[in-house]
C-alpha cells in the first residue's frame, strides 16, 4: 500500500512540473539609437536662399527624428527607408557646402571674374532647385513614415493590452501553482514521516532479532584487519627485534573508529615498563579490497576498560567507502541471554551463556562449566572475541571465565610509535597499565 501511494504522488508531482514550466524566453527589444543632426552655419549673403532652404530642411529633419524616437516597435523596413533619407540629406548638405565655398571664392575674386561668378551663381541656383525638389520628395516620404508610425502605435497598444491580459493569467496560474506546491509539500512530509517511522521500526526489529551464529562467524572472517608491529631494543651484543602480526577487528562508537589489539599480541609486555627502545613502528592493513598497509602513529589504552586491551586509531577516510567493516559497540550488552564467542584465529566459535557479577563491574562471567565441555560445546578461552547475537561487539575474554566489556572508544594513555627513536612515554604508559593490571582481582588476571 505504501509503494502504491508513493508512485501516485511521484506521478502527480511530475505532471505538475511539466504543465507549469515556462519553456519560452522573453525577447528583448533592440535599443533605439537617436540620430544626430548636423548643422551648417551661414557664410555669405550670396547663398542666403540656399541657407533658408537648408534651415527648413533641418527643422523638418529634427521633427522627423523626434517622431521616429517616440516609437519603440520600429520595423527594419522603416529603418532602411529612414537611413536612405539620411544618406540623401547628407549628400545634399555636402553639395550645399561645396556651393557656399565656391560662392565665397567667387566674391573675393576681381571684377574680371564677374562673368564666371554669374555662371557659378546660375549653377548654384540649379543646385538649389534640385535641393527644393529633393525636399519635396523627402516631405512626401516623411508623411508616409508618419502614417506607418500611427499604425505601429495602434499595434503597440493592442500588444500592450494582450501583455497585461497574459500577465494577469500568469499571476493566477502562479497562485494556483503555489497552492498545489503547498499541498504536495504537506503530502511529502506525511510520506517522509511514515517512511522514517517504518525505518525505525525495521531497525528496532533487526536489533532485537538474533542472527544465526554461522552468519556472524562468516561475516567476522571477511572483516578482519591485520596489525603488524616491530620493536627494536638495545642489548649487550646486538639489537633485539620483536615482530608481531595479529588479526584485529575494527570497532566504532559512531564518533571514531579503531582496531582492537590485545596487549599480549604486541611486542610490549607489562614487565617492560623500565625498558628502552630504539625504534617502534606499526602498520594497519584493512580487509579487502583495501589491502595497502597504513602506518600507525600510536597505540592507545581504553578508558574505562581492561588495561590489557589496546586500540589502534583508524582515520575515517580509510573506511569512508566501506563503513560496514567496523563492528558497532553494543548499546545494550544484556539484550540477549547468550553471546557468540569466536577464536581470534578464526578456528572455532560457539554460543555461551553469561551472567553479571556485581563484584566486577565492566566484566561478564561466562558459563565455562566442565560439563559443557564434555557435551561438545564451545569452551571459552583467553583472547576470544565476544559478540552480541545481533552482531554488535561486547568485549574480549581475559581468561577462561570473564569477558572484559568495551563500553566506548574513549582513549586513555598512549604508546607513541616512533621509527627514529622511541620516546619515554611508552615506558611511562606501560608502568601505568601494569599498576592498573596489578590492582585487578585475582579472578580477573
pLDDT digits (tens, 9 = 90+) for 398-414: 998 999 999 999 998 88
Closest among 445, 330, 303 to 386, alpha carbons compared:
330
Query: Can you say whether the dihedral through the CA atoms of 104, 110, 111, 115 is positive or negative?
Result: negative
Residue-range domain boundaries for the chain: 48-71+79-106+121-158, 165-209, 213-444
With beta carbons less than 8 A apart as the criterion, state whether 380 and 352 touch: yes
The whole-chain average pLDDT of the chain stands at 80
Least confident of 175-184, 274-283, 365-374: 365-374
Question: What's the confidence (pLDDT) of residue 307?
Answer: 92
Least confident of 251-255, 273-277, 292-296: 273-277
**144-173: per-residue pLDDT in tens?**
888 888 888 888 888 888 888 888 888 888
Closest among 386, 363, 222 to 289, alpha carbons compared:
222
**370-394: per-residue pLDDT in tens?**
555 655 578 888 999 999 998 999 9
Whether 437 shows a pLDDT value over 60: the answer reads yes
Confidence class of residue 197 from pLDDT cuts 50, 70 and 90?
Answer: low
Whether 114 shows a pLDDT value over 80: the answer reads no
HSE-CB of 47 using CA atoms within 13 angstroms: 30
Selected from 3.30.1450, 2.40.10, 3.40.50, 2.60.40, the CATH number assigned to the domain covering 213-444 reads: 2.40.10
Averaged pLDDT for residues 327-344: 90
Question: What's the confidence (pLDDT) of residue 35?
Answer: 45
Confidence class of residue 429 from pLDDT cuts 50, 70 and 90?
Answer: confident
**28-76: per-residue pLDDT in tens?**
555 554 444 444 455 566 567 667 777 877 887 777 777 767 665 666 6
Whether 237 shows a pLDDT value over 70: the answer reads no
Averaged pLDDT for residues 189-216: 70
Question: What's the confidence (pLDDT) of residue 36?
Answer: 42
Question: What's the confidence (pLDDT) of residue 421?
Answer: 58
Confidence class of residue 259 from pLDDT cuts 50, 70 and 90?
Answer: very high
Q: What is the Cα–Cα distance from 55 to 42, expressed in whole angstroms?
A: 10
Which of residues 188 and 323 earns the better pLDDT score?
Answer: 323
Q: What is the Cα–Cα distance from 204 to 429, expressed in whole angstroms?
A: 41
Averaged pLDDT for residues 196-206: 60
Give residue 182's Cα distance to chain centre: 27
What percent of the chain lies above the pLDDT cut of 90?
18
With beta carbons less than 8 A apart as the criterion, state whether 250 and 314 touch: yes
Amino acid at each position: 500500500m505504501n509503494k502504491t501511494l508513493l508512485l501516485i504522488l511521484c506521478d502527480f508531482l511530475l505532471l505538475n512540473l511539466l504543465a507549469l514550466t515556462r519553456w519560452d524566453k522573453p525577447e528583448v527589444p533592440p535599443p533605439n539609437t537617436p540620430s544626430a543632426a548636423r548643422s551648417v552655419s551661414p557664410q555669405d549673403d550670396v547663398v542666403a536662399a540656399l541657407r533658408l532652404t537648408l534651415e527648413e530642411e533641418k527643422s523638418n529633419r529634427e521633427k522627423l527624428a523626434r517622431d521616429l524616437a517616440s516609437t519603440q516597435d520600429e520595423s527594419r523596413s522603416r529603418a532602411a527607408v529612414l537611413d536612405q533619407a539620411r544618406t540623401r540629406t547628407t549628400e545634399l548638405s555636402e553639395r550645399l557646402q561645396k556651393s557656399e565655398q565656391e560662392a565665397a571664392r567667387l566674391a573675393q575674386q576681381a571684377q574680371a571674374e564677374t562673368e564666371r561668378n554669374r555662371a557659378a551663381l546660375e549653377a548654384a541656383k540649379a543646385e538649389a532647385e534640385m535641393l527644393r525638389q529633393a525636399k519635396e520628395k523627402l516631405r512626401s516620404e516623411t508623411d508616409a513614415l508618419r502614417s506607418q508610425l500611427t499604425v505601429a502605435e495602434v499595434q503597440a497598444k493592442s500588444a500592450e493590452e494582450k501583455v497585461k491580459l497574459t500577465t494577469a493569467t500568469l499571476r493566477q496560474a502562479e497562485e494556483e501553482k503555489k497552492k498545489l506546491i503547498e499541498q504536495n509539500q504537506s503530502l511529502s512530509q506525511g510520506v517522509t514521516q511514515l517512511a522514517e517511522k517504518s525505518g525505525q521500526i525495521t531497525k528496532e526489529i533487526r536489533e532485537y532479532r538474533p542472527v544465526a551464529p554461522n552468519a556472524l562467524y562468516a561475516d567476522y572472517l571477511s572483516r578482519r584487519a591485520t596489525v603488524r608491529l616491530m620493536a627494536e631494543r638495545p642489548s649487550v651484543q646486538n639489537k633485539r627485534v620483536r615482530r608481531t602480526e595479529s588479526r584485529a577487528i575494527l570497532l566504532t562508537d559512531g564518533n571514531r573508529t579503531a582496531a582492537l589489539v590485545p596487549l599480549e599480541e604486541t611486542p610490549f609486555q607489562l614487565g617492560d615498563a623500565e625498558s628502552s627502545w630504539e625504534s617502534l613502528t606499526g602498520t594497519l592493513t584493512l580487509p579487502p579490497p583495501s589491502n595497502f598497509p597504513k602506518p600507525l602513529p600510536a597505540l592507545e589504552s581504553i578508558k574505562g576498560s581492561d588495561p590489557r586491551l589496546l586500540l589502534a586509531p583508524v582515520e575515517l577516510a580509510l573506511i569512508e567507502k566501506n563503513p560496514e567493516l567496523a563492528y558497532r559497540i553494543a548499546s545494550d550488552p544484556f539484550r540477549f541471554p547468550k553471546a557468540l564467542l569466536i577464536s581470534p584465529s578464526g578456528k572455532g566459535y560457539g554460543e555461551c551463556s553469561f551472567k553479571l557479577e556485581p563484584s566486577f563491574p565492566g566484566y561478564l562471567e561466562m558459563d565455562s562449566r566442565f560439563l559443557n565441555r564434555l557435551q561438545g560445546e564451545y569452551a571459552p578461552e583467553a583472547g576470544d572475541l565476544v559478540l552480541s547475537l545481533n552482531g554488535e561487539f561486547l568485549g574480549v575474554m581475559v581468561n577462561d571465565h570473564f569477558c572484559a566489556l568495551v563500553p566506548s572508544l574513549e582513549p586513555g594513555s598512549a604508546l607513541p610509535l616512533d621509527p627514529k627513536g622511541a620516546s619515554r612515554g611508552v615506558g611511562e604508559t606501560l608502568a601505568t597499565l601494569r599498576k592498573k593490571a596489578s590492582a585487578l582481582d585475582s579472578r580477573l588476571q
